[in-house]
């Protein structure tokens, strides 16, 4: 472990580090280690998002219209209007929303603004608009902070992933093992506590600025925790640890974002 961290430290010193986002009111300023090109990660994310939607469409599970979709789209647009507070380049992102009709308690946002929600998350937890906004803001925050790219950069530095070029190449002889590794680091690998804390913090501010009650963040994580105590653990919680410390942290952050919510347009 020490050798691994030492290698990353040397490469980071040579490559330089910077924060992918502006601090906002919540003040996220951590420098990040990024040696994998954003263009490669974005291309991989778009491919994964497209494949996911194709499979859902083929199964008759991709929802493109209706009350549920319209509700999520409305919330997404309000949140998207606030993301320039953290990243000015998001005006060039091609935001997309996918709603999949499946009893899955999960939601994601891939690099470049590719949001996925499952109907099971909204229906089973009976989420309010405020609670949906807190979940969606959290996921958008992961994309803004480029946490997937950061994990892949660390993997590349330690030799776990040597290159992504073959993953993105049109060659039919594409290296499957390499593609699987890249997808794992981008989509499946659980986020660190540090990444989760940043997503909680930025997501809370995004929601408050968009006119959604930040107190709903505490409520939604309590619902998540309750759902995980049943027979089947929520998939969302398999990569999003929810515990008393997290809820306490969200509660402690309320005074910092309450003025933003008070000043926000609630429509």
Does 194 qualify as catalytic in the annotation?
A: no
Read off the pLDDT band of 6 (50, 70, 90). very low
Q: Print burial letters for 60-87: b (CB count within 10 Å at least 16), e (below 16).
A: eebbeeeeebeebeebbebbbebbebbb
Residue 170, pLDDT score: 46
CB distance 20 to 145 below 8 Å: yes
Report, as an integer, the average pLDDT of 62-79: 98
What's this model's pTM, rounded to 2 decimal places?
Answer: 0.83
Q: What percent of the chain has pLDDT over 90?
A: 52
**CA 154 from centre of chain:** 18
DSSP type of residue 85: G
Phi, psi of 28 (to 5 degrees): -85, 115
CB distance 26 to 257 below 8 Å: yes
Instruction: Please indicate whether residue 132 or residue 244 has the higher confidence score (pLDDT).
Output: 132
Residue 112, pLDDT score: 92
What are the E-state strand segments in the chain?
62-63, 96-100, 107-110, 114-118
Task: State the catalytic residue, choosing from 68, 73, 96, 139.
Answer: 139
Q: Which of 28, 36, 30 is nearest to 11 (CA)?
A: 36
Q: Name the least confident of 183-187, 198-202, 256-260.
A: 183-187
DSSP type of residue 189: S
Residue 266, pLDDT score: 82
């Amino acid at each position: 472990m020490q050798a691994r961290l030492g290698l990353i430290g040397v490469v980071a010193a040579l490559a330089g580090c910077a924060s992918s986002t502006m601090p906002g009111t919540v003040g996220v300023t951590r420098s990040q280690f990024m040696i994998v090109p954003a263009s490669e990660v974005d291309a991989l994310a778009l491919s994964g998002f497209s494949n996911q939607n194709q499979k859902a469409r083929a199964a008759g599970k991709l929802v493109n219209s209706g009350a549920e979709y319209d509700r999520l789209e409305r919330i997404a647009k309000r949140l998207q209007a606030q993301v320039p507070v953290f990243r000015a380049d998001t005006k060039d992102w091609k935001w997309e929303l996918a709603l999949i009709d499946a009893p899955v308690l999960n939601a994601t946002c891939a690099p470049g603004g590719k949001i996925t929600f499952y109907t099971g998350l909204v229906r089973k937890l009976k989420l309010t608009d405020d609670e949906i906004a807190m979940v969606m803001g959290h996921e958008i925050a992961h994309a803004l902070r480029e946490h997937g790219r950061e994990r892949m950069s660390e993997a590349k530095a330690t030799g776990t992933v040597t290159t992504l070029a073959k993953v993105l190449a049109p060659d039919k002889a594409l290296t499957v093992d390499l593609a699987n590794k890249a997808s794992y680091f981008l989509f499946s690998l659980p986020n660190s506590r540090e990444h989760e804390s940043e997503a909680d913090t930025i997501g809370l501010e995004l929601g408050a600025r968009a006119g959604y009650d930040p107190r709903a963040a505490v409520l939604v994580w309590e619902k998540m925790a309750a759902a995980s105590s049943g027979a089947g653990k929520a998939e969302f919680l398999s990569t999003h640890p929810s515990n008393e410390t997290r809820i306490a942290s969200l509660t402690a952050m309320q005074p910092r974002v309450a003025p933003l919510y008070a000043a926000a347009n609630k429509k």
